[in-house]
Amino acid sequence: MSLDAKTLAAVADRVQHAQDHAHTLAKLTDDHPSMSIEDGYAVQEELLHRWTARGDRLVGHKAGLTSKAKMQQMGVHVPSFGLLMASYAQSSGAATLPARRSRPRWTSTDDRP
């Protein structure tokens, strides 16, 4: 890992705030260019601890960047894996409320809130 514990916690704070308030994020590596894949998973682990501490429950996992074309577009060489918490799980075919559609994601710095 390249980021220290204090920085990882600050990044987790930023992601949690964006998720709790349904707004997007600038790409985290814009502010932390040395951030590694391992750092990203460490942030995810911290978020898992926070979410379970407030009563949420891990119900599954999700994969992203699974096509070669998308990996090339994003400049990565492996898919990413995320957590599916009970608070975000929905039944197949369920309607999604507009307020739940915006989730933290990596965008260009021009998209900062």
pTM > 0.85: no
What are 13-57's pLDDT values in tens digits?
999 999 888 888 888 999 999 999 999 999 999 999 999 999 999
Encode burial over 2-13: b for 16+ CB neighbours within 10 A, e otherwise.
ebeeebbeebbe
Both tokens of 107, joined, read: 């965008």
pLDDT at 101 over 70: no
What is the share, in percent, of the chain residues with pLDDT greater than 70? 82
Largest Cα–Cα distance in the chain? 42
Task: State the Cα–Cα distance between residues 81 and 63, nearest whole angstrom.
Answer: 4
Cα 76 to chain centroid distance, Å, stands at 16
Are 23 and 43 in contact, with CB atoms under 8 Å apart?
A: no
pLDDT value, residue 108: 46
Alpha-carbon distances, residue 36 vs 4, 43, 79 (angstroms) = 12, 11, 14
